[in-house]
């Protein structure tokens, strides 16, 4: 044997073995994995394209996210599911995003992909439907497109928007007499489709403070909705609140406390999105401001959605968590932050304790009257609640933090704030943050 290995044949054999090994490992890398370990996937569930009021083509948008290390993306145009044949006037596209939008699209994907007809004023470009462009941009285990829609409804004169991810069929907004009823009506349509189609669909309530539309009580009492945008990167969504209306973080705590203390209902889980419309520096609603990190075994719509529903995800506007875990045995919420050069981190554990002050008062202006807008119309406002709702239970500095529940909490959630602003802030004074889901609430529901 030895002599063979030393000889010419041996060299050949070794070289051949090397080729075989390479071929085998390539095949192994390429194989569909069996039972892979859970890992974090990064994605955005709220994005607009030319199919409604965004200013770029779906493939161009998908490529932007794919090449920014995103793993999943839902294009959520208003009341459409990007299906069927649709041509758009080149002039209208130029008006949205600039004269070079079509040229950039052509330069990126080429004449063999881009479809153009007509000349001059009647020049039109075809918007590719979902099933067509997904085949171009998706990559198994690396980048996934999720069919989705922003169900864009109105009630009581304000916008009521909710996203439905992994839809099969388009849903038309159903309306309702009140904001709450509208949320529940549309959610019912989503759930009916999920059941009929036998698929996982995630419906989340969008930007509650956009148009000051959805109050803390609306969110609390529309108990069938379990998911909402704790951060939306659109600069017009009033993320920090104002003198009469709570910030989104505060709204979340009020709604979760009402649900757990009064309604025996589970709390809402938070989702971060960027709600981007503008990809050509022609407007302020830009991509990459907020995203969801989801821990799942497989990059499929079903696995991503099930993990979000199970609470195995966190929302972020820049802070990355290496890990976040709630140990139900020791009742400890523990997280580890992936440090960013030059940043320091503060983690606040926020919750409401049993026996909190449950009194609330109407929100009034300086003169003690219900606040009105310039036209004298009453503002939609949440009530004022005690500081014992959503109080800071503990604060930790550094790149890891933990909190052990005492048993008095209705729920606890963690919010991590970096000393650094995001690369592209959506409001003044913004810092990069991460929001974990509320934990420790299951016992509250079991005991009552
Ligand atoms: Zn919206
Ligand atoms: Zn939107």
- pLDDT tens for the chain, residues 1 to 448: 333 343 344 444 445 555 555 555 555 667 888 999 999 999 999 999 999 999 999 999 999 999 999 999 999 999 999 999 999 999 999 999 999 999 999 999 999 999 999 999 999 999 999 999 999 999 999 999 999 999 999 999 999 999 999 999 999 999 999 999 999 999 999 999 999 999 999 999 999 999 999 999 999 999 999 999 999 999 999 999 999 999 999 999 999 999 999 999 999 999 999 999 999 999 999 999 999 999 999 999 999 999 999 999 999 999 999 999 999 999 999 999 999 999 999 999 999 999 999 999 999 999 999 999 999 999 999 999 999 999 999 999 999 999 999 999 999 999 999 999 999 999 999 999 999 999 999 999 986 4
Q: How far is the CA of 287 from the centre of ligand 2 (A)?
A: 12
Residue 104 CB neighbour total at 10 angstroms:
16
C-beta of residue 231 within 8 angstroms of C-beta of residue 422: no
C-beta of residue 167 within 8 angstroms of C-beta of residue 149: yes
Whose atoms come closest to the Cα of 53: which ligand? 2
Q: How far is the CA of 161 from the centre of ligand 1 (A)?
A: 5
Position 31 scores a pLDDT of 87
Position 10 scores a pLDDT of 42
The gap between the terminal CA atoms of the chain, to the nearest Å, is 76
Q: How far is the CA of 347 from the centre of ligand 1 (A)?
A: 30
Q: How far is the CA of 95 from the centre of ligand 2 (A)?
A: 20
Whose atoms come closest to the Cα of 152: which ligand? 1
Whose atoms come closest to the Cα of 161: which ligand? 1
Q: How far is the CA of 274 from the centre of ligand 1 (A)?
A: 11
Picking from 340, 310, 313, 339, the residue whose alpha carbon sits closest to that of residue 324 is 313
Global pTM reads: 0.93
173 vs 203: CA distance, rounded Å:
13
Most distant CA atoms of the chain, gap in Å: 101
Position 27 scores a pLDDT of 53
Position 12 scores a pLDDT of 44
Position 30 scores a pLDDT of 78
Cβ neighbors of 157 (< 8 A, separation 6 or more) are none
Q: How far is the CA of 206 from the centre of ligand 1 (A)?
A: 6
- Strands, E, within 310-440: which ranges? 313-316, 321-327, 332-337, 345-353, 360-361, 384-385, 391-397, 400-404, 409-418, 433-435
Q: How far is the CA of 150 from the centre of ligand 2 (A)?
A: 6
Q: How far is the CA of 6 from the centre of ligand 2 (A)?
A: 68
Position 21 scores a pLDDT of 53
Whose atoms come closest to the Cα of 162: which ligand? 1
Q: How far is the CA of 426 from the centre of ligand 1 (A)?
A: 15
Position 22 scores a pLDDT of 52
Picking from 252, 255, 239, the residue whose alpha carbon sits closest to that of residue 289 is 239
Q: How far is the CA of 50 from the centre of ligand 1 (A)?
A: 15
Q: How far is the CA of 364 from the centre of ligand 2 (A)?
A: 31
Whose atoms come closest to the Cα of 275: which ligand? 2
Cα–Cα distances (Å) from 228 to 187, 195, 308, 439, in that order, read 12, 21, 12, 16
Q: How far is the CA of 162 from the centre of ligand 1 (A)?
A: 7
Whose atoms come closest to the Cα of 206: which ligand? 1
Q: How far is the CA of 253 from the centre of ligand 1 (A)?
A: 22
Q: How far is the CA of 40 from the centre of ligand 1 (A)?
A: 27
Helix (H) or strand (E) holding 304: helix 301-309
Give the residue carrying structure tokens 């889980």. Answer: 269
Q: How far is the CA of 440 from the centre of ligand 2 (A)?
A: 32
């Amino acid at each position: 044997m030895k002599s063979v290995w030393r000889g010419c044949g041996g060299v050949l054999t070794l070289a051949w073995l090397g080729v075989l090994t390479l071929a085998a490992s390539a095949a192994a890398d390429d194989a569909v994995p069996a039972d892979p370990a859970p890992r974090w996937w990064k994605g955005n569930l709220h994005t607009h394209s030319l199919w409604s009021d965004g200013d770029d083509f779906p493939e161009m948008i998908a490529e932007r996210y794919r090449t920014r290390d995103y793993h999943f993306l839902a294009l959520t145009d208003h009341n459409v599911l990007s299906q069927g044949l649709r041509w758009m006037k080149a002039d209208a596209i130029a008006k949205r995003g600039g004269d070079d939008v079509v040229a950039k699209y052509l330069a990126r994907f080429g004449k063999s992909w881009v479809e153009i007809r007509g000349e001059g004023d009647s020049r039109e470009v075809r918007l590719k439907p979902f099933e067509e462009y997904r085949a171009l941009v998706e990559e198994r285990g690396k980048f996934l497109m999720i069919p989705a829609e922003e169900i864009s409804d109105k009630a009581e004169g304000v916008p009521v928007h909710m996203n439905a991810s992994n839809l099969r069929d388009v849903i038309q907004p159903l309306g309702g007499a009140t904001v709450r009823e509208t949320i529940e009506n549309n959610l019912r349509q989503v759930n009916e489709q999920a059941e009929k189609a036998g698929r996982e669909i995630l419906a989340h309530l969008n930007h509650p403070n956009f148009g000051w539309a959805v109050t803390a009580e609306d969110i609390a009492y529309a108990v069938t909705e379990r998911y909402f945008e704790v951060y939306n990167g659109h600069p017009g969504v009033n993320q920090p609140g104002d003198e009469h209306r709570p910030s989104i973080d505060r709204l979340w705590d009020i709604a979760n406390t009402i649900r757990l203390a009064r309604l025996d209902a589970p709390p809402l889980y938070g989702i971060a999105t960027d709600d981007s419309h503008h990809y050509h520096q022609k407007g302020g609603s830009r991509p990459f401001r907020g995203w969801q990190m989801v821990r799942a075994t497989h990059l499929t719509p079903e696995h991503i959605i099930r993990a979000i529903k199970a609470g195995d995800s966190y929302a972020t506007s820049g802070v990355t968590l290496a890990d976040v875990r709630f140990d139900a045995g020791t009742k400890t919420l523990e997280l580890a932050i992936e440090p960013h050069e030059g940043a320091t981190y503060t983690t606040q554990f926020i919750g409401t304790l049993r026996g909190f002050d449950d009194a609330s008062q109407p929100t009034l202006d300086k003169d003690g009257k219900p606040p009105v807008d310039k036209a004298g119309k009453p503002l939609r406002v949440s009530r004022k609640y005690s500081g014992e709702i959503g109080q800071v239970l503990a604060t930790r500095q550094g790149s890891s933090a933990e909190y052990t529940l005492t048993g008095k909490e209705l729920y606890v959630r963690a919010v991590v704030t970096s000393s650094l602003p995001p690369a592209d802030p959506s409001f003044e004074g913004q810092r990069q943050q991460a929001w974990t889901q509320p934990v420790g609430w299951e016992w509250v529901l079991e005991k009552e």
